[in-house]
């Protein structure tokens, strides 16, 4: 039987190595043991289960695609499979791994000094330190170049940060924050630089955003930075971090993981409704015996299969070093759009029973509202693709 379950009607299983499938199965066991029995309660009570962090570290999932500094050095495809299995449990748990590994650790690994890497990466890989990544602001979401957070160097060389960040995953739990700030004139994309900010620095304050209807087993926060004074070596020094390409290089990593992750949520929704429709009888026959049900299941299976094929193509390209950012936009736009449609369809097929936390699809659909929005909205990715196809930037009326 395919490790992807009954949805795999085209023999996708054979496209993965034994090592890749072993990793996927290990992550699935972790999800079955630690996440599935508790996720409904965590979601209802809006709790991020911090006790899961050592389990994720034990499997080497924190910064798993990075090399050295205690990181597992796994391939892009393995990283994708792990994201997919975690998100089959809940998008909030996959988001933890993405923020820690793909955003905060990636920023340090790609752009940090040797001292910054030595200081933070080993404890982050071990789950002993948590990181967050502050790019988005209350008035700067899709357009990070318009950020208002500033970093000014004083006569002694210290950096002083002022401003605010919003929707920052893990910030109230974090030991370290990578904060992107404007060092030049407002709107100067090349003036954006990254800073490594221990969260106990005076002037750093994080607060969880309450009353979320999505990602409830996860933490997203407001950060305020009030005269946060940092030593000269707090800046991420690499040339690769000069300007917005610094944070975008990290977003590429997180967006790539999402392409796989959301297919896990879609697959779990499909598995849930396939099982339910086989058991649930109406008018004397199981729901699975109705033609309309079968047509819906078939359409879901097609899109999940195509979504995994797309993810796999991008993953193999990433491992070969040939993955282009526009291909990531193709994957994120398609797989998020299809995953949320599948989760919603599955909820509908569960009837009234589908609106409680006894079944996963509505929880997945609600989570996917966030996933399709963060790391570049559907619209941003459509316009990235449109710009590549036409050669014309259409992000604003003037291009």
The residue within the footprint of ligand TGC, chosen from 118, 139, 142, 278 (CB under 6 A), is 142
How far apart (Å, rounded) are the C-alpha atoms in residues 121 and 126? 9
Residue 57 tokens, joined? 């570290």
375 labelled catalytic: yes
Question: Within 13 Å and on the Cβ side, how many CA atoms surround 193?
Answer: 23
Residue 339 tokens, joined? 């995953």
Least Å from the CB of residue 168 to ligand TGC: 5
| Residues 47-86 close enough to bind ligand TGC by CB under 6 A | none
Among 340, 289, 298, 297, which Cα is nearest to 87's? 340
Segment contacting ligand TGC (CB under 6 A): 12-20, 81-89, 164-172, 269-277? 164-172
H-helix segments, the chain: 18-30, 39-45, 53-58, 76-89, 91-97, 106-111, 114-125, 245-279, 291-320, 325-349, 361-371, 378-390
Least Å from the CB of residue 275 to ligand TGC: 31
Residue 110 tokens, joined? 């790609």
According to DSSP, residue 87 is labeled H
Least Å from the CB of residue 248 to ligand TGC: 4
Closer to ligand TGC by Cβ: residue 21 or 148: 148
Closer to ligand TGC by Cβ: residue 200 or 239: 239
CB 188 within 8 A of CB 151: no
If one asks whether residue 212 binds ligand TGC (CB under 6 A), the answer comes out as no
Least Å from the CB of residue 331 to ligand TGC: 12
**Strands, E assignment, the chain:** 131-134, 150-153, 159-169, 176-182, 192-198, 204-208, 220-230, 281-282, 285-286
Residue of 345, 369, 375, 379 marked active site: 375
CB 38 within 8 A of CB 49: yes
Binding mask 113-132 for ligand TGC (x = CB under 6 A): -------------------x
| Residues 294-333 close enough to bind ligand TGC by CB under 6 A | 325
Residue 60 φ/ψ, nearest 5 degrees: 75, 30
Closer to ligand TGC by Cβ: residue 26 or 373: 373
The residue within the footprint of ligand TGC, chosen from 7, 108, 168, 349 (CB under 6 A), is 168
Closer to ligand TGC by Cβ: residue 171 or 339: 171
What is the separation of C-alpha 371 from the centre of its chain, rounded to a whole number of angstroms? Answer: 7
Least Å from the CB of residue 272 to ligand TGC: 26
CB 217 within 8 A of CB 46: yes
| Residues 1-30 close enough to bind ligand TGC by CB under 6 A | none
Query: What value, to the nearest 5°, has the Cα angle with vertex 138 and ends 133 and 141?
Result: 65
Least Å from the CB of residue 241 to ligand TGC: 11
If DSSP codes are grouped into helix, strand and coil, which group holds residue 182? strand
| Residues 327-386 close enough to bind ligand TGC by CB under 6 A | 374-376, 380, 384
Binding mask 170-189 for ligand TGC (x = CB under 6 A): -------------------x
If one asks whether residue 144 binds ligand TGC (CB under 6 A), the answer comes out as yes
Q: Residue number with the shortest CB distance to ligand TGC?
A: 169
Among 30, 51, 193, 194, which Cα is nearest to 120's? 194
The residue within the footprint of ligand TGC, chosen from 167, 256, 270, 276 (CB under 6 A), is 167
Instruction: List the beta bridge partners of residue 162.
Output: 150
If one asks whether residue 135 binds ligand TGC (CB under 6 A), the answer comes out as yes
**Number of alpha helices (DSSP H) and beta strands (DSSP E) in the chain:** 12, 9
Closer to ligand TGC by Cβ: residue 244 or 365: 244
How far apart (Å, rounded) are the C-alpha atoms in residues 135 and 173? 17
Closer to ligand TGC by Cβ: residue 28 or 65: 65
Q: Which residues contact ligand TGC by CB under 6 A? A: 95, 99, 103, 132-133, 135-136, 142-145, 167-169, 189-190, 220, 243-245, 248-249, 251-252, 325, 374-376, 380, 384, 395
Catalytically active residues, by annotation: 375
């Amino acid at each position: 039987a395919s490790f992807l379950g009954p949805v795999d009607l085209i023999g996708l299983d054979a496209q993965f190595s034994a090592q890749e499938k072993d990793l996927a199965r290990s992550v699935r066991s972790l999800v079955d043991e630690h996440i599935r029995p508790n996720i409904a309660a965590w979601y209802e009570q809006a709790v991020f289960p911090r006790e899961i962090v050592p389990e994720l570290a034990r499997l080497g999932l924190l910064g798993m695609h990075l090399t050295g500094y205690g990181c597992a050095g796994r391939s892009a495809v393995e990283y994708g499979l792990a994201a997919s299995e975690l998100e089959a449990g809940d998008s909030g748990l996959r988001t933890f791994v993405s923020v820690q590994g793909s955003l905060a650790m990636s920023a340090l690994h790609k752009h940090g000094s040797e001292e910054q890497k030595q200081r933070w990466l080993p404890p982050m890989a071990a789950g002993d330190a948590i990181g967050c990544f502050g790019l988005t602001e209350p008035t700067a979401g899709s357009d990070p170049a318009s950020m208002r957070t500033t970093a000014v160097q004083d006569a002694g060389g210290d950096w002083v940060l002022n401003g605010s960040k919003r929707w920052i995953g893990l910030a109230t739990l974090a030991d370290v924050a990578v904060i992107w700030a404007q060092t030049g004139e407002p709107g100067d994309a090349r003036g954006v630089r990254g800073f490594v900010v221990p969260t106990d620095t005076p002037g750093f304050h994080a607060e969880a955003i309450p009353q979320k209807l999505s990602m409830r087993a996860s933490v997203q926060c407001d950060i305020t930075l009030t005269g946060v004074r940092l030593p000269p070596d707090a800046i991420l020094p690499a040339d690769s971090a000069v300007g917005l390409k610094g944070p975008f290089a990290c977003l590429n990593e997180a967006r790539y993981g999402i392409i796989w992750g959301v297919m896990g949520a879609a697959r779990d929704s499909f598995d849930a409704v396939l099982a339910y429709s086989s058991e649930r009888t109406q008018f004397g026959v199981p729901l699975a015996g109705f033609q309309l049900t079968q047509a819906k299941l078939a359409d879901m299976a097609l899109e999940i299969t195509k979504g995994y094929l797309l993810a796999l193509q991008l993953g193999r390209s990433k491992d070969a070093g040939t993955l282009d950012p526009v291909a990531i936009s193709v994957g994120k736009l398609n797989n998020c759009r299809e995953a949320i449609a599948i989760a919603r369809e599955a909820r509908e097929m569960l009837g009234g029973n589908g609106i409680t936390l006894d079944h996963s699809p509505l929880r997945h659909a609600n989570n996917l509202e966030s996933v399709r929005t963060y790391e570049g909205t559907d619209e941003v990715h459509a316009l990235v693709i449109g710009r590549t196809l036409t050669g014309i930037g259409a992000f604003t009326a003037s291009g």
